[in-house]
Amino acid sequence: MDAEIVKAWQCIGCGKIEAPQTCVGVCQDRRVKFVYAAQHAAIVAELQTRLQALEKLARQIAYTTPRDGQWERSYRALGERARRILAEGAAEEGASP
């Protein structure tokens, strides 16, 4: 799913954003929130990387059958891998402004 990107003008002084459109006579000013497309793209890329790591772990859990008597060893190894993935995500979140 792609987000719609709105091209607009932003004042370098006050930051006001304007996107001139053809007026149909019912204009109202409302507060809205925007993010810069580059910041959005960076966050999406980071989330895609984390999602891929978690999907890889989910596939490993789904398709791994431990040998007889080795379920606990496999469980602990998968748990350790999951903790590493989650720790990497937490570290990246802490590094973000």
Residues 22/16, Cβ–Cβ less than 8 Å = no
If one counts the domains in the chain, the total is 1
**Residue 46 forms part of a structural domain:** yes
Q: What is the DSSP letter of 5?
A: P
- What does the pLDDT look like over 5-25, one tens digit per residue? 778 888 888 888 887 776 677
State the residue range of the domain holding 75.
9-95
Decide if pLDDT at 2 tops 70: no
**Residue 2 forms part of a structural domain:** no
The pLDDT value recorded for residue 49 is 92
**Residue 4 forms part of a structural domain:** no
**Residue 29 forms part of a structural domain:** yes
Task: Tell me the pLDDT band of 97, cut-offs 50, 70 and 90.
Answer: very low
Nearest to 91 by CA among 46, 51, 45: 46
- What does the pLDDT look like over 40-84, one tens digit per residue? 999 899 899 999 999 999 999 999 888 898 899 999 999 999 999
Instruction: Output Rg (C-alpha) for the chain, integer angstroms.
Output: 23
DSSP alpha helix (H) spans, the chain: 37-63, 71-95
Tokens for 25? 């006579």
**Residue 24 forms part of a structural domain:** yes
Q: Which tops the pLDDT comparison, 31 or 77? A: 77
**Residue 83 forms part of a structural domain:** yes
